[in-house]
Structure 1
Amino acid sequence: MKESEMGGSAPKYRLSPANTLFVILNTAFMIAFVIVTLYPVLNTLAVSFNDGTDALRGGIHILPRKFTLQNYKTVLKKDNLMVGAWVSVARTVIGTVTSLLANAILAYIVSRKRFLFKSQLSLFWVITMYVNGGLIPVFLLYQNLGLTNSFWVYIIPGMVSAFNMLVMRTYMQGIPDSLEESAQLDGAGYATIFVKIISPLCKPVYATVALFIAVGQWNSWFDAMLYNRMSTQYTTLQYELMKLLSSVSNQGASAESMKNAASAAAVTPTSVRAAATIITMLPIVCLYPFLQRYFVAGLTIGGVKE
């Protein structure tokens, strides 16, 4: 009687020399890829914690040579920075929730087989991805709608995204119709089906789209410059950091950017730029691990059709 039939352990699978070589090369490639990807981030982090004057000598890799917090103090003491941070947090949270809800409802509507105009609406939204009215007409439209010099210019125009809607629509089309039909036989309406059946199954694609929206809202600064440039109460963190980077790049160690520093000689445009970059990316880096497990599934499963 064979060992496997007697309840013993099955013999271990041995890789062929070719497969062993492939595993070794693949592992080496992935390690090299991770190093190449992480090195710029770690280098920027090291420069941000290094003395600015010392950083001009070069030779800094992933560890600061002369540790200091002066670069972050210079950035964090900038005028309107805290106001911009609160506005950025508010627009990211509110914009993500409202946009996710609007796109999910539209995606559910156009994914239903009984909806007559789903093809025409989908084509209409696809066209908007390639054609727009231009910067000046859009500005005049927002001005006539009363969106300029207001917080809602960050929220309302971005509530519907053709790309995000199509991603969620494709995912919803992969959900078996039998689930909806059985719910309808039990007397459930479309709203109940969307909330209690479709949405729980769409958590992966919701998390993926939410990450897209949150990153876009957090990193956006151009709309603040266009529509709220004269309203300091609606400034954003990214816009304030952009102005800081522009000032230190154009003027070097200017009096404006260095006025709150304890030692102006220890801060340079390069070190301030590195500190501003780390501050900008930190919230998204902290958010991504919580959504990472949904990220790949939300993009790949949505493209699978029965």
Structure 2
Amino acid sequence: MTRSLVLRKKKVALGNKIFVSLNTIFMIVFVIITLYPVWNTLVLAFNDGTDALRGGLYLWPRKWTFQNFITVVHKNNLLVGACVTVARTVIGTLTALAANALLAYIVSRKRFLFKRQLALFWVITMYVNGGLIPTFLLYKGLGLTNSFLVYVIPGMVGAFNMLVIRTYMSGIPDSLEESAQLDGAGDLVIFTKVISPLCKPVYATIALFCAVGHWNSWFDAMLYNRMNSSLTTLQYELMKLLSSVTNQSTSAESMKNTVAAVTPTSVRAAATILTMLPIVCLYPFLQRYFVTGLTIGGVKG
């Protein structure tokens, strides 16, 4: 019996070692597959555009240059677009977080009578919308076109974000709220002093979602503020830059005759790196909250 138990333990230990080894190999391959496109884009961005036409760029630039980034940075209205994008990201994220958190607090309270009906209503809005043209006409009728508010107001309430926060808040013990009520605290005090400090992980998760959405958005700028250059966004300007560069001649002979040795591929790579850099720098600071907030907010309730 003892010998059988020892053999069984050895088989289990061997199986665990095999699993750990295969899992480690799989994760390494997965990380390489995930990161290599980003690294290759970085290599193309720092490599001479004409030289990149030869191909063979994999792990390191063959001919270093900053001309691709200079071409992107010198684009007209790029600085204005960057300022507008930063402003809409900060303001839009804060207002969206505040609005979603307040609504989530309301529908997460047991004493609220219509919380299930409202939750169902918001779930329906995730799958059904009025369409592009009715939405444009609505925004125009509300005076949101050619306005900075079109970047902020339509995105203040998101059904998915609100439901994630509500699910997280539903897992907070009711005794905390009852204790605050016995001390004479109102709903606003309970929300700001009791509930919100416990919701930092899910708040950070939703803030990251909103920030990435605002930072990467360009379609709304093209639809609603296309004629107002002072309200353009960074992504919209980069999109126009890529479109204009792509429409130019890309032959090797024409590139040799230009002072700035850039190609559509190299400029596109530089624009991609500049676009993703702020979010990449922000993500490490929110990562611990991101994982905790998303997993707990998706399980509890």
Pick one of 174, 182, 185 that aligns with 1:185: 182
1:296 maps to a residue whose letter is: V
Q: Displacement, 1:17?
A: 1.3
2:293 maps to a residue whose letter is: G
Q: Displacement, 1:62?
A: 2.5
Corresponding residue of 1:108? 105
Q: Using the alignment, how far apart are the partners of 1:303 and 1:157 within structure 2?
A: 25
Q: Deviations over 1:49-108 (max 9, x none)?
A: 000011111111121110000000000000000000000000000000000000000000
Matches within 5 A, 1:257-276: 263-264=259-260, 266-276=261-271
Q: Displacement, 1:251?
A: 2.1
Corresponding residue of 1:65? 62
Contact 1:107 1:168 in 2 (8 A): yes
Q: Deviations over 1:253-300 (max 9, x none)?
A: 59xxx9xxx823x10000000000000000000000000001111111
Matches within 5 A, 1:224-263: 224-252=221-249, 263=259
Corresponding residue of 1:281? 276
The percent identity for this pair of structures is 78
Q: Using the alignment, how far apart are the partners of 1:210 and 1:76 within structure 2?
A: 28
Q: Using the alignment, how far apart are the partners of 1:65 and 1:145 within structure 2?
A: 54
**Residues 1:152 and 2:149 are matched in the alignment:** yes
Q: Using the alignment, how far apart are the partners of 2:153 and 2:300 within structure 1?
A: 33
Number of residue pairs the alignment of both structures matches: 288
Q: Using the alignment, how far apart are the partners of 2:94 and 2:59 within structure 1?
A: 37
1:291 maps to a residue whose letter is: L
Corresponding residue of 1:291? 286
| CA RMSD between the two structures | 1.8
**Residues 1:47 and 2:44 are matched in the alignment:** yes
Corresponding residue of 2:6? none
Contact 1:45 1:62 in 2 (8 A): no
Structure 1 consecutive aligned stretches of length 4 or more whose deviation exceeds 4 Å? none
Contact 1:253 1:267 in 2 (8 A): no
TM-score (norm 2): 0.92
Pick one of 143, 152, 155 that aligns with 2:140: 143
Q: Structure 2 unaligned runs (5+)?
A: 1-8
Corresponding residue of 2:131? 134
Q: Using the alignment, how far apart are the partners of 2:113 and 2:59 within structure 1?
A: 58
TM-score (norm 1): 0.91
Contact 1:171 1:302 in 2 (8 A): yes
Corresponding residue of 2:74? 77
Corresponding residue of 1:173? 170
